[in-house]
Amino acid sequence: MNFHRYAAAMLAVSCAFSGAAQAQQELFSTIGNREAFAAPGPLLQRVAADRANARIELVAADAGAVHARQGALRMTLPGGIAIEAKQSRHQQLPSGNELWIGRVDMKAQGPNTSRLQAIDHVVDEAILVRSGEELWGTIRVAGALYRLQPVDKGAHALIEVDQQAFPPDEHEEAYKEMVAKSQPVDFRSGSPLATPKAISTIRVMVAFGPAARAAISNPQAAVDLAFAESNQALAATGTEIVFQQAGAIQNYSQAETTNYSTMLSRLTNLSDGFYDTIGSQRNSNTADIVAYVAPVSSGLCGQAAGIATSNANAYFVMNPSCLSGNYTFVHEAAHVVGARHDNDPTLTPYAYGHGYVITSQNRRTVMAVNNGPCSTCTRIGAFSSPNFSIGGVAIGTTTRNDNTRVWKTRGPTVAAFR
């Protein structure tokens, strides 16, 4: 890949307290890149090895500028794109990290003459996780994606992502296997499974193996970002579901493989000598779903144990390179719940449970894939629904493309798995 020897990324911060403007504060400052790229440290080498990372610039970040009273962040992205993100949410996370989310106002919004609810903000949004002096984040501007993460010697990498370079969510054979393992479950209203203990919160236990621990320098911050992105996507169309991390990250030392079907077989078989204790740990942490961050696979971003899985098979594995930016975390969880891809002809368990491609806007929802009919369409943080729009165009249909309804229908059942 091509690197910029000299970075030119600078961010400034301004916010107001009680109506009085605070002096501008520099969040990012340029640092020399010649030595860093001539002799990159191990963290920068890992960033460079990710084929989706199309352009990398090094910056020094003042993480202390990210806090609850910070009303806005101004940023200059690669290519000289100047933006301002205005805070829409701040949260002190259970992990001790801080979450800061801001909306990027890229264009004036005209009156909404449609009966649909516009969610254009999902393509213009910054999500930042502060962990001590580190910042982990994703920044979306007009559908373009940038990632922010710490690298060696206190520096941060500001990365322009080629979203078409993400591996498929599941390759064809893996998806066929998921379809074959779909469970016939009674989803009718009033069935015992439809009576949840917690109708809105799905607890997800995250597990790391040796490869993931080696690939990610700050696992908790990276996981916090994955949960934040997932919850933003779930909230965008009102799925009435929220994800919560179930306990601490579980660490395993067993031998791993890049064959995700094999990994899932080992995870769901609790008596084969590989992950026999994961079931009891899941029970202890009252986890409805288990997510295992597996070794990097060049072939796919993730794979679930099935579609509309049983309680016992509510597992998915994912590529650490796809932990943020591609919505893979919530994509695979959606398979567990019962959602299907846009190009999947299967009509069970829900005929309406497919992703959607908004071709006129060059966008696709979380369950629409990049190896489908629109390989250049960028993914938005929202599930298909006929009641919401991007650019004035509906992001779903009533009869076939309404994964928001899938979440509302079976999400409470999954939330009652533990």
Give residue 135's identity as a one-letter amino acid code: L
Block residue for tokens 């961010």: 11
Determine if the peptide bond prior to 349 is cis (ω within 30°).
yes
Based on the residue annotation, tell me whether 84 is a catalytic residue of this protein: no
In whole angstroms, give the CA distance from residue 162 to residue 166. Answer: 7
State both tokens at 205.
Answer: 């236990």
128: left (phi over 0), alpha (psi -120 to 50) or beta: beta
State both tokens at 298.
Answer: 């060049």
For 275-341, where are the E strands, in sequence order?
A: 289-293, 302-304, 315-318
Burial class of 243 by CB neighbour count within 10 A (0 to 12, 13 to 18, 19+): buried
First to last CA, the chain: 45
Host H or E run for residue 224 = helix 219-236
Sign of CA dihedral 93, 242, 337, 399: negative
Alpha carbons within 13 angstroms on the beta-carbon side of residue 260 total 33
What is the distance, to the nearest Å, from the Cα of residue 386 to the centroid of all Cα atoms in its chain?
Answer: 23
Sequential DSSP letters for 163-219:
GGGSPPSS-HHHHHHHHHT-------TTSGGGS-SSSSEEEEEEEE-HHHHHH-S-H
In whole angstroms, give the CA distance from residue 89 to residue 190. Answer: 36
Give residue 267's identity as a one-letter amino acid code: L
Catalytic residue among 57, 134, 229, 332: 332
Give residue 224's identity as a one-letter amino acid code: D
What number of other Cβ atoms are within 10 A of residue 144's Cβ?
17
3-class SS of residue 303: strand
For 229-297, where are the E strands, in sequence order?
A: 242-245, 250-251, 289-293
Residue positions annotated with a catalytic role: 332
